[in-house]
Chains A and B, each alone.
Chain A
Amino acid sequence: NAGVTQTPKFQVLKTGQSMTLQCAQDMNHNSMYWYRQDPGMGLRLIYYSASEGTTDKGEVPNGYNVSRLNKREFSLRLESAAPSQTSVYFCASSETTFGNIQYFGAGTRLSVL
């Protein structure tokens, strides 16, 4: 049982480049999330998708876009990367919106030079 799978695990970008972080879950969960984790700041919610076909902004959405491709997949796109977006990005899923248990992927470590 893979759970939540994120790709890639590592990425280095130059300022202004674009990229998409991929996330897939195999638990048939309705809700999916994107967080970023920075030293000394815990995890902050970027965007979430309560169910297939819906997306909503979280705490720090600026500079990001998301797509809920289907029930399994939720991608995060950086259109023009900035050094401030250097972070570790986590995708998570839960059975219900902000349900009691969120399952996290292993993360994508992104550096923007």
Chain B
Amino acid sequence: TQLLEQSPQFLSIQEGENLTVYCNSSSVFSSLQWYRQEPGEGPVLLVTVVTGGEVKKLKRLTFQFGDARKDSSLHITAAQPGDTGLYLCAGRNAGGTSYGKLTFGQGTILTVHP
């Protein structure tokens, strides 16, 4: 079973600060996705990164896939209260009996205070 370790589990910051969330694994993934989930709702896909070393930007959010496709990071610049939520990473399994299935990290609960 492939595992994804996500850190930190909780993050409480002030509006305007920068932050980074990490997802790490000893396994290789064919792609890595980041989701955002608000209370009472299901996860919503933010981005998919596919190529090792790939960097994608979505306004103030920057996503990076590690060169070896074993880790990923989400960086938010100048966080706003509207960024508050649960952030989940999910790796697409690259082989074995779980090929193609998603392995989710534990999630990071982000709170941005005005």
Contacts and interface: CB of A to CB of B under 8 A. Distances in A.
Query: Chain A at the B interface: mostly helix, strand, loop or mixed?
Result: loop
Contacts of A92: 42
B92 A4 contact: no
B106 A42 contact: yes
Interface residues of B, number: 23
Given A59-B1, A98-B92, A100-B48, A43 B104 contact: yes
A98 B9 contact: no
B39 to A, nearest CB: 10
Contacts of B88: 42-43
What interface size band does chain A fall in?
Answer: 20 to 34
A40 B9 contact: yes
Interface stretch (A14-22, A67-75, A77-85, A101-109): A101-109
Contacts, number: 49
Given A40-B9, A98-B92, A100-B48, A45 B102 contact: yes
Interface string A1-39: 000100000000000000000000000000000000000
Nearest to A3: B42
Contact of A106 (B6, B41, B92): B41
Interface in A38-78: 40-45, 58-59
The 5 nearest A-B residue pairs measured at CB: A104-B42, A42-B104, A98-B100, A43-B104, A42-B106
Given A42-B6, A58-B101, A102-B102, 7 more contacts: A4-B42, A41-B106, A42-B105, A43-B104, A59-B1, A98-B102, A100-B31
Interface of A: 4, 40-45, 58-59, 90, 92, 97-98, 100-102, 104-107
24 contacts: A40-B107, A42-B6, A42-B104, A42-B106, A42-B107, A43-B88, A43-B102, A43-B104, A44-B104, A45-B102, A90-B42, A90-B43, A98-B100, A100-B31, A100-B48, A101-B48, A102-B45, A102-B102, A104-B44, A106-B41, A106-B42, A107-B40, A107-B41, A107-B42
